[in-house]
């Protein structure tokens, strides 16, 4: 369903209680952010529209001025995560660069997407295929993984990557490491910047931890 025109959303904001629980009114982006946080904390299935409205201090009607359904919020958040990752892959595949450089771009771009869209990617990685939207997201992840695995296979054929590990396994191990960021990387609670993390992940994946 499409976004309501700004004037309607604004009118909805006016109508909604602005300071219940001492909070100001929310715009669409803020509702989305809080909804995704709740989904990650409580589980998507376990989060009702009522509990989301309660958390926001909005009536369900006011919430429905921002989004047509809980599913729409899920869809937008998953699109955000998947769209980010897919754009990274498209970027890496376009232009003239060696295969190994494309792979470096994919890995570094993926780390940047994860660190900048942590809540959305967290939601994506916890999706289990319980609905059509979730199954479509899993299918997009599968296609993404396959395309990266093809890149790994090509870099192996070109002699850039070691060929004693299956491309599919190398891809899963790489993304196992990258995706683990959602479990432990908390930008607000560490001096480790996203760009340091990009460098660390790249070094471990390509050169390993051994001193040379």
Q: At 149, phi and psi to the nearest 5?
A: -60, -35
188 is a contact residue toward a copy of itself (CB under 8 A): no
The answer to whether the CB of 181 falls within 8 A of the CB of 122 is no
Structure tokens at 71: 């599913």
147 is a contact residue toward a copy of itself (CB under 8 A): no
Spacing of C-alpha 139 from chain mean position = 15
From the list 95, 176, 188, 189, which residue makes contact with a copy of itself (rule: CB under 8 A)? 176
Tell me the three state secondary structure of residue 166.
coil
138 is a contact residue toward a copy of itself (CB under 8 A): no
Site for a copy of itself in 56-115 (CB under 8 A): 100
The whole-angstrom separation of Cα 26 and Cα 11 is 12
From the list 166, 186, 193, 195, which residue makes contact with a copy of itself (rule: CB under 8 A)? 166
Contact string (CB under 8 A) for a copy of itself, positions 33-52, x = contact:
----------x---------
Spacing of C-alpha 183 from chain mean position = 13
Give me the residues that bind a copy of itself (CB under 8 A), please: 43, 100, 152, 156, 159-166, 169-170, 172-181, 183-184, 192, 197, 200-201, 203-212
């Amino acid at each position: 369903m499409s976004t309501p025109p700004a004037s309607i959303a604004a009118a909805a904001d006016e109508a909604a209680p602005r300071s219940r629980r001492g909070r100001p009114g929310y715009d669409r982006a803020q509702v989305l952010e809080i909804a995704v946080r709740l989904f990650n904390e409580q589980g998507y299935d376990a989060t009702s529209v009522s509990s989301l409205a309660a958390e926001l201090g909005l009536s369900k009607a006011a919430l429905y001025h921002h989004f047509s359904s809980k599913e729409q919020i899920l869809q937008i958040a998953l699109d955000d995560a998947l769209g980010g990752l897919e754009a990274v892959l498209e970027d890496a595949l376009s232009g003239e660069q060696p295969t190994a450089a494309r792979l470096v771009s994919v890995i570094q771009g993926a780390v940047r997407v994860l660190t900048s869209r942590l809540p959305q990617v967290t939601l994506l990685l916890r999706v289990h295929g319980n609905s059509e939207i979730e199954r479509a997201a899993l299918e997009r992840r599968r296609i993404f993984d396959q395309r990266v695995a093809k890149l790994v296979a090509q870099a192996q054929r070109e002699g850039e990557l070691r060929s004693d590990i299956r491309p599919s396994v190398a891809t899963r191990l790489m993304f196992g490491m990258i995706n683990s960021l959602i479990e432990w990387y908390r930008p607000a609670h560490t001096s480790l910047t996203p760009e340091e993390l990009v460098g660390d992940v790249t070094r471990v994946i390509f050169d390993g931890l051994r001193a040379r």
